[in-house]
Structure 1
Amino acid sequence: MPWLDRQGRFSALRALAFALVLVPALILAYEAWTGQLGSKPWTRAVHDTGTWAIRLLLVTLAVSPLRRILDWGKLLGIRRMLGLSVLAYAAGHLTLYCIDLAFDWGLIVSEIVKRFYLTIGFTALLGLTALGVTSTDGMIRRMGAKNWQRLHNLVYLIAGLGLLHFALQSKIDVTQPALLNGLFALLLLYRGLNRLKIATTTPVLIAAALLTGLATALCETAWYALTSGVSAWDVFQANADVVVYQDLGFLRPGHWVALVGLAVAAVHAWRAPVAKPRRARRSDGVPAQTGA
């Protein structure tokens, strides 16, 4: 059962995670049942399931760095469940797309081949399927730990493809893609710090949050400037509107990315263990307490 740990005991964390990953699907089902999906319900359902697949993929990728930064080992217990939920929403995304096209397989295949963003999205789904099929303990033993790890390291490439697919199909408004790409960049930066053996102290985490927030704002600016011809300076200045108008409604993706990173830094500082006083030894070998 998804709410039990490996020892068969009830896990509140696993139960909560399982309940939360079901919420988007239940909301979508309720809105469909009550006719709240608008004039194109299948299209809306396709978009919603795809968006949640990307969101949950980022949550899954956040498990390992947050486990290290927050010193919360139990988080690893929900990583597989989250990964499989990503695959479920992505598969639902494709299934609903096929329903929207009335299972016209010729049209479906031609659309995937002709439209670049669909080709990218379908490639990402194939990658997620490979990761889902090989996620069991039995597959880890058959493949060997090193081969299994090499395959599952492709999740970062798959996430990049999924985010590109999301951005390209969003066309005009890329607020959500910019936000999710910024959070992905923050996770990659955390991974880089770990690879480079740089201690994730509170000042380092604050610097990472501010740097990634700025990078997100610059990338959003560049996207609009290149795709819409809008003045890059005007787009970048929009990030200052929250200060000018003092309204949280003017928060841009760069702000949210920085705030998430700062929240991680704050929790890290709160959970950091208090350093214990060092004990010196007297010449006779008996420990002596240092300090006043």
Structure 2
Amino acid sequence: MFPWLDHSGRFSTFKLMVFVAILIPGCVVLWPVLFHEGVSLPIKDAIHGTGDWAIRMLLISLAITPLRRVTKFTRVVLVRRMVGLAAMGYALCHLLLYFIDQSFDVSRIATEILVRIYLTIGFVAVMGLVVLGVTSTNGMMRRLGRNWGRLHKASYGIAVLGILHFFMQSKLDVTEATLMAGFYLWLMLSRFASKMNWKMKSPVTLLGLAVAAALGTAAIEYAWFAIATGVPPLVVLQANLQWMYPLRPAWDVLIIGLLITAFPLVKQLWGKIGPQSANMRVGRARAASRQT
């Protein structure tokens, strides 16, 4: 019942910290709506903000398993359900704020959702998150059995719908939508690597994922501008191949991928030179001296 308790009912500092971290973006986004702190269009800004965080939370929840394989930090699995429910919560706030912006005119809202394809896609994504949220309890896991895992694999498709909705409502400035697509691509590539039984802690595997995801991100942005806008896509592609500030999404994805690649190497190096390793070496030296 309480998000700061682990499965055995004991207090978990880690879960409490994650719970607070999940709430902070919502407080920041909704504060202007409640108090109108000099924001000209607080509802519009909050609609976009909650939608952005819904996608971010969904991607974070999907990233927990591959990051656990890379970092061996098993406790992170404890917050996967919490983060997934946060994605649903932000998505519902996103939808509720849209209703408020439309003055709860249900007929108008229904017409807009049916007529505007990007709203249709977004609405389907929100309903999908609600279904996953309702069936995320231990009781539903027992009732659905093996079907529970099949159902919750729909989260990957829901993420695609959410990112597509992000692209369509962003119009020309698709920088963050492209970034989300790049992170999603890394997640899918890591899933493929796991199915192929590639070692997720191998620097070669992680480096390959980083480069492939970065190139795929550049390709996604190129394709979007080529298909959906009047902006010359070659200009966008050239920008992706240049080191410039602010960085293009492909470079951001590459940098994050390289940091993930470096983590096992740093952890291995720290294991050799860290304090615990030094103490072990001292202990072995003392034991050897006593034997002699």
TM-score range, shorter chain: 0.7 to 0.9
Cα distance between partner residues in 2 of 1:102 and 1:149 = 39
Q: Does 1:268 align with 2:264?
A: yes
Shift of 1:272: 4.6
Structure 1 residue ranges (4+ consecutive) displaced by more than 6 angstroms after TM superposition: none
Q: Does 1:177 align with 2:173?
A: no
Aligned residue for 1:88? 89
What amino acid sits opposite 1:151 in the alignment? L
With 93-102 and 219-228 compared, the bigger mean Cα shift is at 219-228
CA contact (8 A) 2:33 2:43 kept: no
What is the aligned length? Answer: 269
Aligned residue for 1:284? none
Aligned residue for 1:220? 221
Cα distance between partner residues in 2 of 1:52 and 1:133 = 20
Q: Does 1:50 align with 2:51?
A: yes
Alignment of 1:139-178 (within 5 A): 139-144=140-145, 146-178=146-178
Cα distance between partner residues in 2 of 1:138 and 1:34 = 40
Cα distance between partner residues in 2 of 1:122 and 1:149 = 23
Q: Give the match's secondary structure for 2:236.
A: helix
Cα distance between partner residues in 1 of 2:203 and 2:193 = 13
Q: Does 1:252 align with 2:248?
A: yes
RMSD (Å), alpha carbons = 1.7
CA contact (8 A) 1:60 1:82 kept: yes
| Residue deviations 1:148-199 (CA, integer Å, cap 9, x gap) | 1010011101111111111111111100100000000000001110111111
Alignment of 1:1-292 (within 5 A): 1-36=2-37, 38-144=39-145, 146-200=146-200, 201-242=202-243, 249-272=245-268
CA contact (8 A) 1:241 1:250 kept: no
Cα distance between partner residues in 2 of 1:20 and 1:236 = 36
TM-score (norm 2): 0.88
Structure in which a larger fraction of residues adopt helix: 2
* CA gap 1:253/1:60 in 2 versus in 1, 3 angstroms: same
Shift of 1:210: 1.1
Cα distance between partner residues in 1 of 2:127 and 2:83 = 17
Cα distance between partner residues in 1 of 2:84 and 2:256 = 22
Q: Give the match's secondary structure for 2:258.
A: helix
Cα distance between partner residues in 1 of 2:38 and 2:91 = 19
Cα distance between partner residues in 2 of 1:257 and 1:209 = 7
CA contact (8 A) 2:22 2:83 kept: yes
TM-score (norm 1): 0.88
Aligned residue for 1:290? none
Give 5+ residue unaligned stretches, structure 2: 273-292
| Residue deviations 1:194-253 (CA, integer Å, cap 9, x gap) | 11111121111011101110111122122123333333322112124425xxxxx33100
